[in-house]
Amino acid sequence: MAKILHINSSVRNQGSLSRQLTGEFLAKWKAANPSDIVIERDLASNPVPHLTEQMMGAFFTPAEQRTPEQAQTVLISDVLVDELLAADVIVIGAPMYNFSVSSTLKAWIDHIARAGRTFNYGETGAVGLVTGKKVFIVTATGGVYSEGPSKAYDFLGTYLRSVLGFLGMTDITFVQAEGLAMGEAAVADTLAKSRTALNELLAA
């Protein structure tokens, strides 16, 4: 039995293709693995707070020295880290906003990137502690960023691969739904390709 953490970061509850594709992927996963458990974390309907000075102070205060207010402040971050550490598989729906991740996904990352919990600093540098996970990321972009003149503007995939890798998650597979603002034919084509790619991952 595997535990799957599903992160939805689209600000849209309706009409989101990243939501649609990750939902289809997980429905087929559950059909093939009915005993697996899926934990849903919807960052649109239940956004996590952005970092504040008080949060940062609480993060860097040893747990036994935190005030009651600091303990309450750090609670949501601890819940998010616990969800991540308990998961065997992480599925992230990540549309591109202004060439990068949504602010809600960035806030989630800010809460799970915790020194002493998800990474440590050693003599040779940082060491990620979130290991042994399989990560699937479905991206959705209006243009084409995997190749061509706009590739240099892709701070979505490059950022996610870098920050998750920093935390120890290096087994990452991307499925890119591209060209969604380039007409109905382009949308139909990229959806077909994305579904094929996701089905191949399920069959692997």
77 among annotated binding-site residues: no
99 among annotated binding-site residues: yes
Is residue 137 within 8 A of residue 96, CB to CB? The reply is no
* 160: number of Cβ within 10 Å: 22
97 among annotated binding-site residues: yes
Question: Degrees (nearest 5) of the Cα angle 147, 153, 40?
Answer: 90
Is residue 178 within 8 A of residue 141, CB to CB? The reply is yes
Classify residue 180 by its DSSP letter.
Answer: T
136 among annotated binding-site residues: no
98 among annotated binding-site residues: yes
46 among annotated binding-site residues: no
Provide the CB-side half-sphere exposure for 87 (13 A, CA): 24
**Binding-site residue set for FMN:** 10, 16-18, 96-99
Binding-site residue positions: 10, 16-18, 96-99
